[in-house]
Amino acid sequence: MSDHKPQKANQTNLRLGEIGLANYEPYLMNRIMGRYNASLRDEMAQLGLTTAKMRTLAVLSVVDGPMIRELSVFAVVEQSTLSRALDSLSGEGMIRREAHEQDTRATRIYITEAGRAAFEQLWPQMAEAHDQMFAGVEPEDRRVFLTTLQKMLANIRKHNF
């Protein structure tokens, strides 16, 4: 790209410019998660799943009967999007809602056998994407990476779960 102008070291971009995108963790994490999600897209589409629906099923496969606001936090899907995802999943028989007798906010969401089967079909693809990510990373570095992620989430999460 011969017409690519050289990077200017303006005062105004000095901070991110000094760090550089390739050394800025939030940038790298976005790039990595973007690729991870993209690598699941074809498989998800075949199963009629969106990212929101996939994350919902993933969470429900290991968390039994969360309330909607808990599910929204776990799945990192905003409540309005989650609400549509749940309507769709419910229509496809992949989840069921269990209303609380007195408190509608306390509705709990459960995965069905059909939902579990759909997630199980996606899981090998997720596991493969995961393995590919960590190829060549030393076990000790993986341990540090995981404990750092856990500390980061503890540092910034708003919810106590």
**Site of interaction with a copy of itself (CB under 8 A):** 4-8, 10, 12-13, 15-17, 20-23, 25-36, 39, 55, 58-59, 61-65, 73-74, 76, 116-117, 119-120, 123, 126-127, 129-130, 132-137, 141-142, 144-153, 155-158
The answer to whether the CB of 50 falls within 8 A of the CB of 84 is: no
DSSP H helices, the chain, are: 14-19, 25-46, 51-60, 68-75, 79-91, 113-133, 139-156
Minimum distance of a copy of itself from residue 78's CB (angstroms): 9
Of 77, 101, 100, residue with least CA distance to 89: 77
**Cβ–Cβ < 8 Å for 110, 60:** yes
User: Minimum CB separation from a copy of itself for residue 127, in Å?
Assistant: 7
Quote the least distance from Cβ 85 to a copy of itself, whole Å.
15
Q: For the CB of residue 89, give the shortest distance to a copy of itself in the complex, in Å.
A: 16
Shortest Å distance, C-beta 13 to a copy of itself: 5
The candidate with the shortest Cα–Cα distance to 104, out of 76, 67, 59, is 67
Beta bridge partners of 35: none
What torsion do the CA atoms of 64, 68, 73, 78 make, to the nearest 10 degrees? 140
